[in-house]
């Protein structure tokens, strides 16, 4: 799930987007999952997973994010324009980490490997959606036509930012909606695929 709020946390990793694009600061955080059975794991995910404010419940993974926009203006006798714009996107991806028992069941290990990989893919897609909108916001601000006054230019920048961030939120919500509808069939398909690759020797046994 996605949450736009940003929690202060120790930076574990840093990624920067290519020059000319919005900046990305990306960190990872993990919460522990214990247990031997699927029921144990499900209870741990429900108990220890990050709480998402938009739903009021805990989830097996989450991505918290914040957009910061810096805009500079250039004024002449007759107009004011946006001289430069820089959008920084800060994200914190929260993922589960199973403390695997020594004698855990192979089927449980297979299910966990499949589920955890899908959770990570889901959260990384949230990051991609946010990155795309950060770029769009930066490009839109830079392409803004000059206004009569800097006050009008600032108002235009605020209008553009609000519109694109609202569009971003809708895209994130739609992604979550589609993913939740297809969750069960997707996990079953991924389990079968992973089993086939393991049996054919393409993947090591779990």
Report, as an integer, the average pLDDT of 175-202: 73
How many Cβ atoms from other residues are within 10 Å of residue 187's Cβ?
Answer: 14
Q: How many domains does the chain have?
A: 1
Distance CA 35, CA 33 (A): 7
Question: What pLDDT is recorded for position 22?
Answer: 77
Average pLDDT over residues 183-188: 73
Checking if the pLDDT of 188 tops 90, the result is no
How far lies 116's CA from each of 27, 33, 130, in Å?
18, 11, 22
Two tokens, residue 122: 């889901």
Take residue 171 and report the two structure tokens written for it.
């895209």
Is 58 part of a structural domain of the chain?
A: yes
Q: Which range marks the domain in which residue 100 is found?
A: 2-199
β-bridge mates for residue 57, sequence order: 52
Give the span between the Cα atoms of 179 and 60, in whole angstroms: 14
Task: State mean pLDDT over 116-123.
Answer: 92
**Tens-digit pLDDT profile for residues 125-146:** 999 999 999 999 999 999 999 9
Mean pLDDT across 14-20: 36
Name the phi and psi angles at 27, rounded to 5. Answer: -125, 160
- For residue 204, being part of any structural domain is answered with no
pLDDT at 17 (0 to 100)? 38
What confidence tens digit (pLDDT) does each residue in 30-64 have? 999 998 888 888 889 888 888 887 777 788 899 99
Task: Say if residues 157 and 141 touch (Cβ distance below 8 Å).
Answer: yes
60 vs 94, higher pLDDT: 94
Structure tokens at 45: 């995910």
Predicted model pTM: 0.79
Q: Does residue 69 fall inside a structural domain?
A: yes
Average pLDDT, the chain: 83
């Amino acid at each position: 799930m996605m949450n736009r709020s940003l929690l202060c946390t120790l930076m574990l990793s840093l990624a920067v987007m290519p020059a000319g694009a919005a900046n990305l600061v990306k960190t990872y955080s993990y919460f522990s999952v214990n247990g031997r059975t699927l029921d144990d794991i499900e209870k741990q995910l429900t108990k220890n997973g990050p709480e998402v404010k938009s739903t009021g419940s805990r989830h097996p993974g989450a991505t918290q994010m914040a957009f910061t926009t810096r805009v500079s203006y250039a004024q002449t006798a007759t107009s004011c324009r946006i001289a430069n714009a820089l959008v920084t996107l800060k994200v914190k991806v929260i993922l589960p980490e199973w403390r695997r028992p020594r004698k855990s069941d192979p089927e449980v290990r297979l299910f966990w490997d499949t589920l955890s990989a899908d959770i990570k893919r889901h959260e990384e897609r949230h990051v991609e959606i946010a990155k795309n909108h950060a770029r769009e916001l930066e490009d839109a601000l830079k392409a803004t036509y000059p206004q009569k006054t800097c006050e009008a230019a600032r108002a235009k920048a605020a209008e553009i930012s609000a519109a694109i961030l609202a569009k971003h939120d809708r895209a994130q919500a739609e992604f979550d909606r589609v993913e939740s509808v297809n969750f069960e069939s997707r996990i079953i398909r991924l389990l079968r695929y992973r089993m086939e690759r393991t049996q054919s020797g393409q993947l090591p046994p779990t």
